[in-house]
Amino acid sequence: MIKAMLRVVMLLLSGVGVAQAQAPANAMMVSDGWVREMPANMRMSAAFMVLMNHSMDAVSLLKASSPQFERVELHRSMPVDGVMRMVEQSRIPVPAQGKTILKPGDWHVMLMMGKAALKAGDTVDLTLSFDNGQELSLVVPVKKMPSHAGMVPPSAAGHGMLHQGHEMMQQGHNMMEQGQQQMMDHSMMGHQGMQHGMEQAGEAAKGSMPAMQ
């Protein structure tokens, strides 16, 4: 706990130093956030979203956390020796005036050791820390995996959702309602061998595990 707090303090300090030379502290916005519903016997999931950088400088996501999970990592799914695996990343870069899409099969925020099961309609609290010193708090809806992996579910609310502060709760709410309308009967999980992946995860080399995203 103390270690974790120290890490946060260090992150904040380093973030402040960088912020002076780089993007303003409100450069980053997040839209279309969602968390995949957990299978019945798993305490692991992933968060997906669009990270938008409105500044003239590149900004990276350095850290994500959630009170609902013991451990949160930044991951990217990529082929390793011909097999798709999830590889831990130290940062998720977002180009100046650009965006990075976190989606199944690509960049994602890995949610591990969940304290409770998550079903479609639930929400997840997330805090994102960027290297420009900015910190964003989000409430994102839990949804079933779309039937086509790699697709980001459409969102009628579009650009500019999940702003900072109190607006966000409202936005999260709207998204949740949309998520319920978009719920699909069928999830990809059965096709992706998640169970198998889960069994292996504990033994997987650090920073790499079988791709579930």
Q: How far is the CB of 81 from Cu ion (least distance, A)?
A: 18
**Residue 36 in the binding site for Cu ion (CB under 5 A):** no
| Identified binder of Cu ion from the candidate list 52, 64, 86, 162, rule CB under 5 A | 86
Residue placing its CB nearer to Cu ion in the complex, 27 or 74: 74
Of the listed pieces 50-58, 86-94, 113-121, 157-165, which binds Cu ion according to CB under 5 A?
86-94
35 is a contact residue toward Cu ion (CB under 5 A): no
- CB neighbours of residue 8 within 10 Å: 15
CB of 155 to Cu ion, least distance (A): 22
Please state, in angstroms and rounded to a whole number, the distance separating the CA atoms of residues 30 and 21: 23
How many residues make contact with Cu ion (CB under 5 A)? 3
Site for Cu ion in 106-165 (CB under 5 A): 110
Beta-strand pair 45-53/208-210: unpaired
Are 160 and 169 contacting, i.e. CB atoms less than 8 angstroms apart?
Answer: no
What is the closest distance, in whole angstroms, from the C-beta atom of residue 63 to Cu ion in the complex?
15
Buried b (16+ CB within 10 A) or exposed e, 190-203: eebebeebbeeeee
Write down the least CB distance from residue 195 to Cu ion, Å. Answer: 15
Q: Are 51 and 28 in contact (CB under 8 A)?
A: yes
By CB under 5 A, tell whether 103 contacts Cu ion.
Answer: no
Q: What's the token pair of residue 191?
A: 């096709």
Minimum CB distance to Cu ion, residue 213 (Å)? 5
Query: 79 — phi, psi (to 5°)?
Result: -70, 130
Q: Shortest Cβ distance from residue 157 to Cu ion (Å)?
A: 26
Q: Smaller CB distance to Cu ion: residue 72 or 176?
A: 72
75 interacts with Cu ion by CB under 5 A: yes
Q: Which is nearer to Cu ion, 166 or 206 (CB)?
A: 206
Distance separating alpha carbons of residues 198 and 15, to the nearest angstrom: 34
Shortest CA distance to 171 belongs to which of 33, 41, 74, 78?
33
Note the residues at the interface with Cu ion (CB under 5 A). Answer: 75, 86, 110
